[in-house]
């Protein structure tokens, strides 16, 4: 889909990171139309946020397969430079066992779980029901996780939930 045409000439952004704090570094990503990676100096050390969409056209291939591959390759490469990686975005996957109908396919879900395990990450939003957007954080930040919430319910603004976490 040509989003700029759909938006009547306005520039379309699929992935944006908004922050009160300026980033101190931008990482190269395979597809800058679906992914963005910025590093921020924080009280927890330098953290990298990798924002992405996997399945821009849901199950339609080759998009879903390529976007998954790009995510895995990007995150693996970025974590070699800074392992304090936070992955956020529309992963088109529920990590709840009884919600397989919310996933592109089981291969995508298992590939993501494997990536998170390899990079020592935890799915902070993995227990939110009917949710395909996620925030995945380094395990050491999980100890400081004080809140996981939905701030916009599905079907209010879109077919996605708005989710957030708070870390102290």
Q: Does 32-139 carry CATH code 3.40.1710.10?
A: no
Q: Is the pLDDT of residue 167 over 80?
A: yes
Q: What is the pTM of this model?
A: 0.89
CA atoms of 38 and 49, how far apart (whole Å): 5
Distance from the Cα of residue 36 to its chain's centroid? 10
Classify the phi-psi angles of 11: left when phi > 0, otherwise alpha if psi is within -120 to 50, otherwise beta: beta
- Summarize pLDDT for 74-97 with one digit per residue, the tens: 999 999 999 999 999 999 999 999
Average pLDDT of the segment spanning 21-28:
96
Q: Which residues of 18-55 are buried (b: 16+ CB within 10 A; e: fewer)?
A: eeeeebeeebebebeebbbbbbbeeeeeebbbbbbbbb
Q: Give the pLDDT of residue 9.
A: 64
- Summarize pLDDT for 122-160 with one digit per residue, the tens: 999 999 999 999 999 999 999 999 999 988 777 666 677
Tokens of 162: 């708005």
Q: Is the pLDDT of residue 58 over 80?
A: no
Note if the bond before 96 is cis, omega within 30 degrees: no
CA angle 21, 40, 112 (to 5 degrees): 125
């Amino acid at each position: 889909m040509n989003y700029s045409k759909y938006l009547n000439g306005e520039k379309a952004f699929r992935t944006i990171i908004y922050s009160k704090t300026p980033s101190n570094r931008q990482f190269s990503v395979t597809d800058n139309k679906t992914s963005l990676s910025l590093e921020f100096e924080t009280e927890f050390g330098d953290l990298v946020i990798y924002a992405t969409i996997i399945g821009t056209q849901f199950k339609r291939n080759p998009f879903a397969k390529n976007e998954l591959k790009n995510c895995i390759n990007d995150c693996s490469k970025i974590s070699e430079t800074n392992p304090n990686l936070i992955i956020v975005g529309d992963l088109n996957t529920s990590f709840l066992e009884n919600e397989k109908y919310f996933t592109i396919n089981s291969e995508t879900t298992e590939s993501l779980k494997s990536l998170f395990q390899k990079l020592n990450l935890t799915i902070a939003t993995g227990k939110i029901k009917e949710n395909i957007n996620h925030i995945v954080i380094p395990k050491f930040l999980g100890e400081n996780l004080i809140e996981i919430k939905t701030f916009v319910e599905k079907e209010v603004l879109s077919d996605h939930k708005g989710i957030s976490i708070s870390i102290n």
